[in-house]
Amino acid sequence: MQRVHSSLESGFSLSRIAFGLWRLTDWGYSPQERLALFEQMLDLGVTTFDLADIYGDYRCEQFFGEALRLKPALRSRMEIVSKCSIRLAGEASGARINHYDTSPAHVRRAVETSLRDMGIEHMDLLLLHRPDPLMDADALAQVLEQLVAEGKVKHLGVSNYLSQQTALLQSRLSRPLLVNQIEVSLLQSQPMFDGQLDYCQQQRVIPMAWSPFAGGRLFAGEDGDAVRVQACLRSLCEARDLDPRHGVMQLALAWLLKHPSQMVPVLGSGNPERLVAALGALQMELDREEWFELLRAGRGRDVD
Using only the alpha carbons of the chain, give its radius of gyration: 19
- In total, how many domains does the chain have? 1
Residue 60 structural domain: 3-183
Q: In the predicted model, what is the mean pLDDT of residues 137-156? A: 98
Specify if 123 maps to a domain. Answer: yes
What is the number of residues in the chain? 304
Specify if 17 maps to a domain. Answer: yes
Specify if 228 maps to a domain. Answer: no
Is 199 considered catalytic here? no
Q: For 44-61, how does the pLDDT look when each residue is reduced to its tens digit (9 = 90+)?
A: 999 999 999 999 999 999
Q: For 269-292, how does the pLDDT look when each residue is reduced to its tens digit (9 = 90+)?
A: 999 999 999 999 999 999 999 999
Closest of 40, 76, 16 to residue 261, by C-alpha: 16
Specify if 20 maps to a domain. Answer: yes
- Overall pTM surpassing 0.75 (yes/no): yes
- Give how far the C-alpha of residue 267 lies from the chain's centroid of Cα atoms, to the nearest Å: 8
Mean pLDDT, all residues of the chain? 97
Q: What is the pLDDT of residue 77?
A: 98
Axis crossing angle, helix 137-149 with helix 163-170, rounded to the nearest 10: 60
For the chain, what is the HEC assignment? CCEEECCCCCCCEEECCEEECCCHHHCCCCHHHHHHHHHHHHHCCCCEEECCCCHHHHCHHHHHHHHHCCCHHHHHHCEEEEEECEECEECCCCECCCEECCCHHHHHHHHHHHHHHHCCCCEEEEEECCCCCCCCHHHHHHHHHHHHHCCCEEEEEEECCCHHHHHHHHCCCCCCEEEEEEECECCECHHHCCCHHHHHHHHCCEEEEECCCHHHHHHHCCCHHHHHHHHHHHHHHHHHCCCHHHHHHHHHHHHHHCCCCCCEEEECCCCHHHHHHHHHHHHCCCCHHHHHHHHHHHHCCCCC
Q: In the predicted model, what is the mean pLDDT of residues 190-213? A: 97
pLDDT at 177 over 90: yes
**231-258 burial, b for 16+ CB within 10 Å, e for fewer?**
ebbeebbeeeebeeebbbbbbbbbbbbb
Q: Which amino acid is at 176?
A: P
pLDDT at 248 over 90: yes
- Give how far the C-alpha of residue 176 lies from the chain's centroid of Cα atoms, to the nearest Å: 18
pLDDT band at 241 (very low <50, low <70, confident <90, very high): very high
Specify if 19 maps to a domain. Answer: yes
Q: What is the pLDDT of residue 2?
A: 87
Q: What is the pLDDT of residue 66?
A: 98
pLDDT band at 62 (very low <50, low <70, confident <90, very high): very high
Return the number of other C-beta atoms located less than 10 Å from residue 273's C-beta.
Answer: 10
Q: What is the pLDDT of residue 277?
A: 95
Q: For 218-234, how does the pLDDT look when each residue is reduced to its tens digit (9 = 90+)?
A: 999 999 999 999 999 99
Q: What is the pLDDT of residue 153?
A: 98
Specify if 156 maps to a domain. Answer: yes
Specify if 258 maps to a domain. Answer: no
CATH of the domain at 111: 3.20.20.100
Please tell me the distance from the alpha carbon of residue 269 to that of residue 21, in angstroms, as a whole number.
8
Specify if 280 maps to a domain. Answer: no
β-pairing, 3-5 vs 13-15, is antiparallel
Q: What is the pLDDT of residue 144?
A: 98
Q: What is the pLDDT of residue 14?
A: 98
- 24 neighbors 34 (Cβ within 8 angstroms): yes
pLDDT band at 1 (very low <50, low <70, confident <90, very high): confident
- 196 neighbors 167 (Cβ within 8 angstroms): no
